[in-house]
């Protein structure tokens, strides 16, 4: 599903909602999620899942072409853990 398809689904599910307003709501929602996770607050949507900030440590890896060891810098990542209703919907 693309972002425009999601906007269409939101518009179809809410009477009287225009596509432009649905897009604005989606954009504000996604921005709020990104800002909360970036601050380290995380976000929990009961039944859907939770987003949190994670960290991946520095490590050594190998270049697959040359076999040369390279250092991969530490990085911050985003973690998502699916909620129970989400998992149940996927497993039907």
* pLDDT tens for each residue of 18-72: 999 999 999 999 999 999 999 999 899 999 999 999 999 999 999 999 999 999 9
Whole-number pLDDT of residue 29 = 95
Binned at pLDDT 50, 70 and 90, residue 76 comes out as very high
pTM over 0.85: no
Please, are residues 31 and 39 in contact by the beta-carbon 8 Å criterion?
no
Structural class in CATH, domain 42-92: few secondary structures
- Angle, vertex CA 22, rays to CA 15 and CA 87, nearest 5: 90
């Amino acid at each position: 599903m693309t972002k425009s398809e999601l906007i269409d689904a939101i518009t179809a599910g809410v009477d009287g909602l225009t596509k432009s307003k649905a897009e604005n709501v989606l954009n504000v929602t996604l921005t709020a999620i990104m800002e909360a996770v970036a601050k380290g607050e995380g976000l929990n949507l009961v039944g859907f899942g939770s987003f949190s900030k994670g960290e991946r440590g520095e490590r050594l890896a190998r270049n697959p072409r040359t076999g040369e060891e390279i250092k991969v810098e530490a990085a911050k990542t985003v973690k998502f853990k699916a909620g129970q209703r989400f998992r149940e919907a996927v497993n039907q």
